[in-house]
Amino acid sequence: MTTTLYQRLGGAKGIAAIVDDVMTAHLNNPAVKARFENIEDMDHAKKMACDFFCAGTGGPETYTGKDMLTAHKGMNISEQEYLAVMDDTVAAMEKNGVNEDAKNDVIATLYSLKDQIIRV
């Protein structure tokens, strides 16, 4: 039986810890902090990020938020911002002990979403 990426990331609990660290990092990253400081309901934003991550990696959770294109529409996100988010995510995975293979799968997945995020 194959292990899902969800399991390799530590399931819902592991993913929640990663998302927490990512959001903290974003609030301190000059490339994106202006966006994230402006979020009114951070708990909701974190829940959406967790659900998206969980559902997209093979977990039983359901993501009820907007699709990626709609979620980023009109924000005119730059390559610099996109990579800042990638970097903070990779650092959070490393901090939480995610192994190399799982990390690379997440990197490739985030890369595959790029055109639904940048300048849409």
When binding is defined by CB under 8 A, the residue of 1, 2, 3, 38 that contacts a copy of itself is 38
For residues 65 and 109, what is the distance between their CA atoms, to the nearest angstrom?
18
Query: Residue 32, interface with a copy of itself (CB under 8 A)?
Result: yes
When binding is defined by CB under 8 A, the residue of 37, 69, 70, 95 that contacts a copy of itself is 37
Q: Which of residues 57-76 bind a copy of itself (CB under 8 A)?
A: 73-76
| Contact yes or no for 15/50 (Cβ under 8 A) | yes
Helical packing angle, 79-95 and 11-26, nearest 10°: 130
Task: Compute the least distance from the CB of residue 16 to a copy of itself, in Å.
Answer: 24
